[in-house]
Amino acid sequence: MVLAGAGIAAAAAGRASAAAPVPGFVHGVASGDPLPDRVIIWTRFTPSAEALPGSEVGTAVSVTWQVAADPSFATVVRSGTVATGPDADHTVKVDVDGLRPGTVYFYRFTGLGIVSPVGRTRTAPATDADVARLRFGVVSCSNWEAGYFASYRHLAEREDLDAILHLGDYIYEYGRGEYGARGGSVRLHDPVHEIVSLADYRIRHAQYKTDPDLLALHAKLPFIATWDDHESADNSYDGGAENHDPATEGDWGARKAASTRAYFEWMPVRVNGSGSDAALYRRFRFGSLAELSMLDLRTYRDEQASAGAGWRKVDAPDRTITGRAQMDWLATGIVTAPTQWKIVGNPVMIAPCVFPPLDNRTMGAITEMVGVPDAGIPFNTDQWDGYTADRRRLFDAITTNGVRNTVFLTGDIHTSWACDLPVDAANYPAAGTVGTEFVVPSVTSPNIDDMLKVPPRTATVAAEEAFKAFNHHVRYVELDSHGYGVFEVNRSGAQMDWFYVSDPTDPRGLARHAMSYRVADGSQQAHPVTGPLAP
């Protein structure tokens, strides 16, 4: 499955870098959530100079859309007209149906006689198709103030990708100067303050969609995206967030609703349900080769356990990171999937990372006495390590049913990891493995060397070795670099290639291949390979 055609990404980048006309399609075009017979197409039409994102100003307008089999639109296969206005922040999102599976399409919009840039997308293959290969670009954690989105540019230049998986933190909520690169903010957020209101979130989404590299990538490939915490607020959970103060920022429910509405308006995602029941977790099928489950690990989770006295909470059987309905949906989907590979788009790391891994059959009394979790002290309770009962429920479902070829693709932690998923980390590999996890680094958000303000590959190397020494199922960890992943599944195995960008503060940063890990069909263990996937 390789998308054909050339020049669209470059054209989109060129349009974005020029002075955008108003009225016009200032924020480009995008597509997402491909199914065999449909795909979402998106744009934002600015009808007048005062109708800015978040302004709730401007007239209602009609926007015509077209989907064609060719970039010249000689063969239009679907078309229509939709109304938009201030209530939708002048965004346009169409779930175009009646399309052919596994087919490249081109799309565009027209408003007030102005024609948008042309986008390119592709539907998923038929559910019974014998798909030989599936290849995704994988990204997360793209912070405007911490640098430029060169990772998006490098992905847009490729001709071998079927879609982009964005695993969360597509935007960041902080105010100006609050969370930049190691030397300070490279470019400044709009609005100036931390975003809280619906207008704030709309303005921030709009700003990110003026980045030329992001515009180019959206115009070239469909996105399959989910959120993590920064689309609302840092370390969010079902009842609040670490970065939310009700005394100064108001009701959390109102803020969460505002962030959710803006996300649904500005992102090419398909939402299940409506109103307060709208759910972002959803599933995609790619023939008989792979099924992809995209998770929402913020909306339904309990508050994170604090370090020290709060550590024992991580083992509580009633604590959840997924919520009961999503857990049942996820476990059932993995167990019953008719495809060879079961892929999970996972916003936070699921592999255990504890110091040291403990066998609770022999150490339970001691961990109870000293007040640490049964499996050992967790590195990060914001991850699945803070919700061990949910992880155990999921792992038990996979092992009990003898499921093979489960791969979790993860973002959030701004670093790179390849891990086997152990049934029991203290008895790895003898106790067996559940699957594999590949974690991609941040596009720009600060990682360890940035926060320590030390040269890359100096202070962090010892920490990487310590992680692997204590957690033998961690096969690869790199704590310094920014970049992206390219992930492929085929009949013989699944492979992640990590690519690192030379400098996230350089808009023309170069990319290099850094590492590749592969898990063979049925093997359940990842191993390094010598080179990247062939184009």
How does pLDDT run across 231-278, given as a tens digit for each residue?
Answer: 999 999 999 999 999 999 999 999 999 999 999 999 999 998 776 678
318 occurs within a structural domain: no
pTM for the full model?
A: 0.93
In a domain, 96, yes or no: yes
Q: Any bridge partners for residue 108, and if so which? A: 66
Greatest distance between any 2 Cα atoms in the chain: 74
DSSP annotation of 442: -
Contacts of 333 (CB under 8 A, 6+ apart): 283, 291, 293, 342
The answer to the question of residue 361 being in a domain is: no
The residue written with tokens 């100067």 in the block is 177
Give how many domains the chain has, as a whole number.
1
For 147-161, write each residue's pLDDT tens digit: 999 999 999 999 999
Whether the bond between 528 and the residue before it is cis, its omega within 30 degrees of 0, is no
Q: What is the mean pLDDT of the chain?
A: 92
Lowest mean per-residue pLDDT among 17-21, 315-319, 327-331: 17-21
Cα distances (Å, whole numbers) of residue 357 to 310, 313, 320, 334, 509: 18, 17, 22, 27, 39
Contact 283, 332 (CB under 8 A): no
416/224 Cα distance (integer angstroms): 21
Do you know the residue count of the chain? 535
Position 18 pLDDT exceeds 70: no
105 closest CA partner among 28, 27, 25, 4? 4
Query: What does the block give as tokens for 277?
Result: 């029941």
On whether residue 108 sits in a domain, the answer given is: yes
**H or E element in which residue 234 lies:** none
- The model's pLDDT over 56-67, given as tens digits with 9 standing for 90+, comes to 999 999 999 999
pLDDT value for 64:
98
- Whether 12 has a pLDDT exceeding 50, the answer reads no
What average pLDDT does this structure show over 462-491? Answer: 94
Over 70: is that where the pLDDT of 135 sits? Answer: yes
Instruction: State the average pLDDT over residues 172-183.
Output: 96
pLDDT of 138 > 90? The answer is yes
80/23: higher pLDDT: 80
Q: What are the tens digits of pLDDT across the range 198-210?
A: 999 999 999 999 9
The residue-averaged pLDDT of 444-455 equals: 91
- Alpha-carbon distance values, 302 to 40, 249, 272, 305, 317 (Å): 32, 21, 22, 9, 12
pLDDT top residue among 497 and 308: 497
Which distant-in-sequence residues (6+ apart) come within 8 Å of 336 by Cβ? none
Whole-angstrom CA distances from 437 to 108, 139, 157, 205, 476 are 37, 15, 26, 29, 11
Q: For position 119, which CATH number holds?
A: 2.60.40.380
For 405-422, the pLDDT digits (tens) are 999 999 999 999 999 999
Cβ pair 252, 246 in contact under 8 A? yes
Does the residue 413 lie in any domain? no
Is 510 among the domain residues?
A: no
Which residue did the predictor score with more confidence, 392 or 353?
392
- Strands, DSSP E only, in 386-440? 406-410, 416-422, 433-439
For the stretch 340-350, what's the b/e string if a residue is b when 16 or more beta carbons lie within 10 angstroms of its beta carbon?
bbbbbbbbbbb
The tally of CA atoms less than 13 A away on the side-chain side of residue 24 is 11
pLDDT of residue 307: 73
Question: Which residues constitute the domain of residue 202?
Answer: 1-124+169-225+228-271
* pLDDT (average), residues 77-97: 98
Does residue 48 fall inside a structural domain?
Answer: yes
Is the pLDDT confidence value at 173 over 50? yes
